[in-house]
Amino acid sequence: MNNYKVGETFKTPTIEGSISEGILSMKGRSLPEDAKAFYMPFREWLSRFYESPANEIKVTIQLEYYNTATSKLLINLLLRLEQVKEIKPVSVDWIYDEDDLEMEETGQDFKNLIGDMITMKAIKS
């Protein structure tokens, strides 16, 4: 399965990705009732995504809010991408509402953990 797509609901984000193109996007809120069940197919897809034949990997994360289970997924995703960047360029855009200090701080925390692979981008709501 080259492409991955899950539509947004009130409690789950839109997730779209393409292994062949090396792109991944997460947008919305992530508060799934059963995070393990919701994210299991995505985590299985991610294991193939990290092996993308694309020349570079581009990830966009634009979450309004997420729970602890999603936080663990994000940390694992970013740590794995940090390993991938040893092989090819990896960029992560952390997009947040300019008035959302919590999401800005969270992005900065991830940037401090991972480094300049993450670009912070404030948007107007």
What's the pTM value of the predicted model, to 2 decimals? Answer: 0.94
One-letter amino acid at 40 equals M
Instruction: Please state, as a whole number, how many other Cβ atoms lie within 10 Å of the Cβ of residue 115.
Output: 11
Tracing tokens 């992530």 back to the chain, one arrives at 30
Q: How confident is the model at residue 11 (pLDDT cuts 50, 70, 90)?
A: very high
CA distance 113 to 118: 10
The pLDDT value given to residue 125 = 76
DSSP string covering 54-92: SSSEEEEEEEEEE-HHHHHHHHHHHHHHHHHTTTS-EEE
List, for residues 71-86, the tens digit of each pLDDT value. Answer: 999 999 999 999 999 9
52 neighbors 36 (Cβ within 8 angstroms) = no
pLDDT attached to residue 6: 96
The percentage of residues in the chain with a pLDDT greater than 70, rounded to a whole number, is: 100
What does the pLDDT read at residue 54?
96
Number of H helices, E strands in the chain: 3, 6
Domains of the chain, first to last? 3-123 (3.30.750)
Candidates 62, 60, 71, 75; CA nearest to 31 is: 71
Mean pLDDT of 89-101: 96
| C-alpha distances out from residue 76 to 86, 98, 123, Å | 16, 26, 26
Q: Tell me how many degrees the CA angle 76-96-81 measures, rounded to the nearest 5.
A: 25
